[in-house]
Amino acid sequence: MIAYVTVGADDIGRAKQFYTSFLPTLGYELEEGLEGLSFALPVEPDQSPVSPDFYVKPTFDGCPASAGNGSMVAFEAHNQKQVRDLHAAALLAGGTNEGQPGFRASYGPNFYVGYLRDPQGNKIALFSSDPNEPGRDD
């Protein structure tokens, strides 16, 4: 099980603007600290944490942050409309488009996804695969 994912950012303020444009809608709560941004899903009393947490941090070595070639973090939305809405919100908050929301031929008939880059260049996917919604072949 993945416990947490961390991406680097040189400008935490820009990263905060980008990530708070969609992560709170997906249920993530933000905790800010000197070491950056921590996003986590709320935990009910007497329950185990829901993983993974998502962190946006300056680099530990002090060198500029860089996006991983081939790395991507995917967040699951509730439905296709939410994918479209959150993709648009993230673009307005400083992201860049890496692929408009829609179906992709190489994935299952219900996998609906939009791709973005955060202000640092990290690749982000917002997806829904709800079998109760129309699929690619419907």
DSSP states along 19-54: HTTTTGGGTPEEEEETTEEEEE----TTSPPPSPEE
Enter the pTM of the model: 0.91
Average confidence (pLDDT) over 85-94:
98
pLDDT band at 110 (very low <50, low <70, confident <90, very high): very high
What CATH number does residue 94 fall under? 3.10.180.10
In a domain, 134, yes or no: no
Cβ–Cβ under 8 Å, residues 96 and 14? no
Q: How confident is the model at residue 119 (pLDDT cuts 50, 70, 90)?
A: very high
Are 120 and 8 in contact by the 8 Å Cβ rule? The answer is yes
For residue 66, tell me if it sits in a domain: no
Q: Provide the residue range defining the domain that includes 115.
A: 4-58+73-128
**81: in domain:** yes
Residue 68 lies in a domain: no
Q: pLDDT confidence of 138, banded at 50, 70, 90?
A: low
Mean pLDDT within 10-24:
97
Q: Which of 119, 15, 2, 118 is nearest to 57 (CA)?
A: 15
Overall average pLDDT of the 75-92 stretch: 97
Tell me, yes or no, whether 138 lies in a domain: no
The secondary structure element, H or E, covering residue 100 is: strand 96-103
45 part of a folded domain: yes
Domain count, the chain: 1
What DSSP designation does 64 have? P
Instruction: Reply yes or no on whether the pLDDT at 136 is more than 90.
Output: no
